[in-house]
Amino acid sequence: MNDLLAQLPHGPEFRFVDRLLALEPGVSGIAEYTLRGDEPFLRGHFPGEPLLPGVLLIEAAAQLAGVIAQADPQQAPLAGLKLTAIRAAKILGTARPGESVTVHARISGRMGPLVQAQATATVRGTLVLHCEVTLSGST
C-alpha cells in the first residue's frame, strides 16, 4: 500500500504523508505523517518553538486525497494532479517535533479531471484541521 506514496508527484522532501494506514481506493483513506524535527522549514517556523505550518497540514490532506483518487480502479489516473482549491479550511492546532499527524480524507466528488475531497487531521486525538480540497489533472 505504501508504494502508492511513491506515485505522488512531489519529491520526498515535500511529502507530508509517511504511511498509509487504510485505503479504500477511490473512496477514502487514512495516513500518517511524523514531524521529525530536522525539516528545514522548522528553523524559521518558529526559531526556538518549532511548529508544523498549518498550510502543510492542508498539503498533507491534499496529498492523501491524491493517493485515494489515483488508486481508484474505476477511473484512469490523472496526469499532473495538483491542489487547485481549498475551501472551508479551519486550522485548529498543529504538531511539534516528534508528534504524528493522522490525516483522514474522503473523496466527495469527481467530474472529469477534478477531484473534490473532505479531510481532517488530528494530533494525539485532537482535531487540528478540517478542510475541503479540489485537485485537478488531465486525462
Residues 6+ away with beta carbon under 8 Å from 48: none
pLDDT value at 1 more than 70 = no
- pLDDT at position 7, please? 77
Burial degree of 38 (CB within 10 A; 0-12, 13-18, 19+): exposed
pLDDT tens profile 22-51 = 999 999 999 999 999 999 999 999 999 999
Active-site residues, by number, are 45
Radius of gyration over every alpha carbon of the chain, rounded to an integer in angstroms = 14
Place of cell 477511490: 26
- pLDDT at position 112, please? 93
* Separation CA 137–CA 118 (nearest Å): 18
- pLDDT at position 2, please? 63
* Triad 54, 55, 58: Cα angle to 5°: 95
* pLDDT band for position 131 (cuts 50, 70, 90): very high
- CA 114 to each of CA 22, 32, 104, 130, 136: distance values in angstroms, whole numbers, following the listed order: 23, 24, 19, 20, 5
- Global pTM reads 0.96
pLDDT tens profile 56-105 = 999 999 999 999 999 999 999 999 999 999 999 999 999 999 999 999 99
* pLDDT band for position 3 (cuts 50, 70, 90): confident
